[in-house]
Structure 1
Amino acid sequence: MHVKHLLLIAILVLTAACGSKEIKVDESLSETELYQQAQIDLKNKNYSHASSKLKALESRYPFGQYAEQAQLELIYAYYKNQEPEAARSAADRFIRLHPQHPNVDYAYYLKGLSSFDRDRGILARFLPLDMTKRDPGAARDSFNEFAQLTSRYPNSPYAPDAKARMIYLRNLLASYEIHVAHYYLRRQAYVAAANRGRYVVENFQGTPSVGDGLAIMVEAYQQLGLDDLAGTSLQTLKLNYPDHPSLEDGQFVPRASTHKRTWLARATLRLIENDTPLPPGETRAAQDMRRQYEDAVEAIPPELQPGYKGKKGKTAINDDEPRRSWLNRLTFGLFD
């Protein structure tokens, strides 16, 4: 399966590179002809051609009979063509220009959908990406945009679907906070872990992650020696989540542990199966550099390791030599 995933990535990259030609629209087409051809393209799911014709229609006939409809359908064409940023921009423009339009709720809905799918491209549909471990920025945007739709247009035909997606997004955001809290637990940052757990308990009531938040609070408070807070959190956990995995025969069992990286996570620098969200102040580039160095150290044969003694008791590398920094090793001595 993993080989198929890598082949799929290569095919999609080549397809995207080959499909980036600019589409020219015949300048002799009338307003009606442009709109009709755009409708045919939309029906045939040829969204790139449809968006080009809808943009041409709007620019050539800004006050025509199809101008407003073209702006609305352009949002849909961008969304279906997997251009979320263009779709959101077009939706914002339509909402700004036509706030009283009878179908403005549709623009709000498409804007929310575009953010909802912003991190769910073609790769995410086929590769084992855990959405709860990725940057939640798009999820927050989508939640807020669906919230605008449901609050301003509660009777909209799109409101029920928006509410259902909001439930999913709220669960996703809560799960992300739990992943971050576990990250802090593994690194013994217990105050930060307790704060994250408490944040989930206070702000995501009703989500499946509340029990995990309480368990994190118990473990973090125990490690900090705050027995009263740990006891209160444990009693709350037992009362509300008696079947939580951290409870065995009524006793709390800490769950924080180090996690081995899979070969797929290493090969993709944790793009796939990523278990460590970025902590505050950290950068992805710095993490990647450290991982490359760690992987290089792990690949060094034992006989080349400092302090290794062969069959005759001889040391392969002189321990008296000054130790080189990881940056020096990684850059082959270019940087001391």
Structure 2
Amino acid sequence: MKKTVLFLVFALLLSCQTKAPSKIQDDAKLYQQGMHYFQRNKYVSAMDYFLEIKNRFPESPYVKDAKLRLADCYYFTREYIDAEIEYHQFTALHPLHQDIAKVWLQLGMSQFKQAPKSHQKDLNLIRTAKTTFTMITHKWPSSQEAQVARDMIQKCNDQEIEKQLYLASFYYRTKKYDVAIKKLEQLSLQGNVDLAYVASRNLLLAKAYLKTEEKDRAKNILQAILNNPDLKDYHSQAKKFL
């Protein structure tokens, strides 16, 4: 019991010795204290120290790393709008930084994380993130960041496909078959390995063709589904419309 009390007193005294960021006049100490919290995943506390360096010591040798860690703090606390702003500013001001590929990746992730989860909503941020990820694969094609970016591009593509399928289904349900057909015809799934997307698109397109009396087109699509062994889970649905 006595040891516990002594430990708590010592911890309290130690915490009291930590100065508020605004009271510290040394940039090195600010950065050191910020990293102390950052490395312990105490990102909210770390932010204050990195912000002090950014605002009060713009010529400091620590300012670049402080700005980058500040962006990371925003990202890890899910403040994705602020994270995007900080990462974007960093790429503009420090394009030759040794970790610039990682910064661009984090920028893309911040954009992606802001996007609405439902495919029913606007996906402009998904397209913005996809542009960022694509740039990474072109500029640093052999990097680890490019590998992650390629995976993220596929996730962006999936969300765009789901959005288009949702819209096409909506137009089909509301009997706007011509609009549904146009949406589905514009939806290219060439090279897509997700068979659920391929089957959903083709079945809906065939049904829409049947509604517009384009029976030959519908039959060709349905027969193609039946002839594809990889789509065997969808054969019974295709047979219903033949």
Normalising by the smaller structure, the TM-score range is: 0.7 to 0.9
Relative distance call for 1:203 and 1:166 in structure 2 (3 A) is same
Are the aligned partners of 1:55 and 1:74 in contact in 2 as well (CA < 8 Å)?
yes
Q: Cα RMSD over matched residues?
A: 2.4
Q: In the TM superposition, what is the alpha-carbon distance from 1:204 to its structure 2 partner? A: 7.0
Sequence identity percentage = 20
Q: In the TM superposition, what is the alpha-carbon distance from 1:48 to its structure 2 partner? A: 2.1
* Match status 1:222 vs 2:210: yes
Please name the residue that 2:61 is paired with.
65
Q: In the TM superposition, what is the alpha-carbon distance from 1:96 to its structure 2 partner? A: 0.8
Relative distance call for 1:233 and 1:143 in structure 2 (3 A) is same
Are the aligned partners of 1:211 and 1:244 in contact in 2 as well (CA < 8 Å)?
no
The aligned runs of 1:102-121 (5 Å cut-off) are: 102-119=98-115
Within 1, Cα distance between the matches of 2:194 and 2:157? Answer: 7
Are the aligned partners of 1:201 and 1:213 in contact in 2 as well (CA < 8 Å)?
no
Are the aligned partners of 1:112 and 1:146 in contact in 2 as well (CA < 8 Å)?
yes
SS in 1 for 2:232: coil
TM-score computed with the length of structure 1 as normaliser: 0.60
* Structure 1 residue identity aligned to 2:28: T
- Single out whichever of 85-94 and 167-176 deviates more from structure 2: 167-176
TM-score computed with the length of structure 2 as normaliser: 0.81
Within 2, Cα distance between the matches of 1:249 and 1:151? Answer: 41
Q: Where does the alignment leave 5 or more consecutive residues of structure 1 unmatched?
A: 1-23, 121-129, 255-336
Relative distance call for 1:248 and 1:73 in structure 2 (3 A) is same
Please name the residue that 2:139 is paired with.
152
Within 1, Cα distance between the matches of 2:240 and 2:80? Answer: 45
Please name the residue that 2:153 is paired with.
166
Are the aligned partners of 2:111 and 2:129 in contact in 1 as well (CA < 8 Å)?
yes
Q: In the TM superposition, what is the alpha-carbon distance from 1:186 to its structure 2 partner? A: 1.0
Q: In the TM superposition, what is the alpha-carbon distance from 1:145 to its structure 2 partner? A: 1.4
1:82 to 78, 91, 97: 78
Please name the residue that 2:35 is paired with.
39
Give the number of the structure whose residues are more often helix, by fraction: 2
Q: When the two structures are aligned, how many residues end up with a matched partner?
A: 221
Q: In the TM superposition, what is the alpha-carbon distance from 1:244 to its structure 2 partner? A: 4.6
* Structure 2 residue identity aligned to 1:57: I
Are the aligned partners of 1:105 and 1:153 in contact in 2 as well (CA < 8 Å)?
yes
Please name the residue that 2:89 is paired with.
93
* Match status 1:212 vs 2:200: yes
Q: Which segments of structure 1 move beyond 6 Å, counting only runs of 4 or more?
A: none
Q: Where does the alignment leave 5 or more consecutive residues of structure 2 unmatched?
A: 1-19
The aligned runs of 1:1-336 (5 Å cut-off) are: 25-119=21-115, 131-201=118-188, 205-208=192-195, 209-240=197-228, 242-245=231-234, 247-248=235-236, 251-253=239-241
SS in 2 for 1:158: helix
Q: In the TM superposition, what is the alpha-carbon distance from 1:112 to its structure 2 partner? A: 1.3
